[in-house]
Amino acid sequence: PNLADEKASMRRLIKRKVARLRNMSDQPFAYIHAELNRRYGDTATTATAETLAARLDTLDRWIEEAAGS
């Protein structure tokens, strides 16, 4: 896959993880996405592959924290 396909796949995974976190935490989708945008200074649409990967790492950490609470 080329970079555009890879980024699209990462964005789809971000959406799935945001949905999972939303179901675990009762935080609205928009709040979770806004917090990621604030932390990384871009949006999922404009993000580089590196910041998309960082978003995924952050979401994994948040999911783990939500599962432990």
SS (H, E, C) 5-67: HHHHHHHHHHHHHHHHHHHHHCCCHHHHHHHHHHHHCCCCCCCCHHHHHHHHHHHHHHHHHHH
Number of residues that make up the chain: 69
Q: What is the pTM assigned to this prediction?
A: 0.93
Q: Reply yes or no on whether the pLDDT at 17 is more than 90.
A: yes
Angstrom distance (rounded) from CA 28 to CA 55: 17
Residue 1, pLDDT score: 79
pLDDT of residue 2: 96
Chain mean position to CA 2: 21
The overall average pLDDT reported for the chain is 95
Q: Which band of pLDDT confidence, cut at 50, 70 and 90, is reported for residue 21?
A: very high
pLDDT of 69 over the 80 cut:
no
